[in-house]
Amino acid sequence: MIGGDVKREGLQLNFSRSISAPAEEAAAPAPVPARLRPLSLPTSPSCELADSKKATVVARTRYCSCQELAKRLSAGRSPTCALLDVRPFMVYNQSHIQGAINLNCMDRFNRRRLQLGKASLAELASNKEAKELLKRRTYREFVVCDEGTTDLEMLPASHPLFMVLGALLEDNREPVLLTGGMAAFGREFPSLCRSELRPMGLDGPDCVSQLRERADEIESAQVTQILPFLYVGNQHDAKDLVSLKNCGITRVLNVTAHVPGYHQQQGISYKTLPAADSGQQNISQYFDEALEFIGGLVGWTLRSPPPVSGFSGHCARRHQASVLVHCVAGVSRSPTIAIAYIMKYLPMSMLEAYQLVKARRPIISPNLNFMGQLLEWEQYLRPSMPALTPCSEEASGAARLPGPPTGQQSPCRPLETCTS
């Protein structure tokens, strides 16, 4: 027992410890964890195979300068090589080297089929002429370009260029890479480049006069017959009752938010799709509704293309009436709807449908946002599209728009009688 007079010097109390906890002994130094050796996992066989294919492609691909390609294109002789453009379709349409064939290898579906050997480069081409060219053994040398590659070694093995160059090598062709791609060639040789979406250049000194001519051309455009029952026009065409009657139009699809239905009392059926001509407008949300209003084709087969006379016999439309699709100018929104209709019911690819409508109405120019949505529409329609046999006369003939027999006029009224 400790007496009261005992000094308690040096007594220390640990207030941070629980009263019920046992006293701590001298803390032993914390053990230093052993340093783990890094584990090196074996390389995946697929990665090794991809690297091996990349090395083969790099070793066997020749490079071509922009100056060399420009000299060959300007020589005026028959081309000795084919030019392949592997950029996305929309970028290709904005500007590409003249004569270049666009390959849709940005799509994962196409890339996977090509990698598995279930597709050829010809199937990736964006139009039938290009498909035929790639199927024939006309050219042995193929110049391939992307946006701006200068060195294949710097690209990952998964890059689309290796897929295309590898496919050419497997087909015993000679792949050549355009150094610097379209970016370098377009800067140095703009006169050798083309555009599908911009019908004229607006960079020169005649920019103002070209814009004025373009505006006059749009203003003076007449209602245009795209199919025997389908017309594309502007807001003035929708207002012109005489023109509507002359063309036999009894249904009007208005792709604007403000143009009214002018002649509902005269038996004209109207439908409005409130779409704006902008880069933010989702016009594809109206495709099904628009196509339902126009009336789908029933009984269509690629091997039995319908006659012109009202598309009767081989197919029938839900509405036996001619339809006008219009927006304000008939340049962007209404052609987009017409292209979507043709893609589904003829059927055609987006580029083929676009070229068909543009051939009949040259002023059309859907904005890039709408063109992108048409590309998505094509991807959506693809599983239901019948397989084409490009070498077959029946298949190639079915892809064309039906026209009147030689020496006969179309049963639809000619365009010059469709104006007041």
Q: One of 145, 327, 412, 418 is an active-site residue; which one?
A: 327
Return phi, psi of residue 184, to 5°: -70, -45
372-377: list long-range contacts, CB under 8 Å, 24+ apart: 372/90, 373/282, 373/283, 373/284, 373/336, 374/284, 374/336, 374/339, 374/340, 374/343, 374/350, 375/89, 375/90, 375/350, 376/284, 377/284, 377/287, 377/340, 377/343, 377/350
Structure tokens at 157: 């093995």
Host H or E run for residue 344: helix 333-345
DSSP 158: T
CA 367 to chain centre: 13
CB 343 within 8 A of CB 353: yes
Active site residue 327: yes
What is the bridge-based pairing of β-strands 316-317 and 297-298?
Answer: antiparallel
CA 203 to chain centre: 25
Sign of the Cα pseudo-torsion (230, 232, 236, 237, in order): negative
DSSP 174-241: EEEEETTHHHHHHHH-GGGEE-SS-SS--SSTTHHHHHHHHHHHHHTPPPEEEETTEEEE-HHHHH-H
CA pair distance 115, 85, nearest whole angstrom: 18
What is the bridge-based pairing of β-strands 230-233 and 316-317?
Answer: unpaired
CA pair distance 171, 120, nearest whole angstrom: 9
Q: Catalytic residue positions?
A: 327
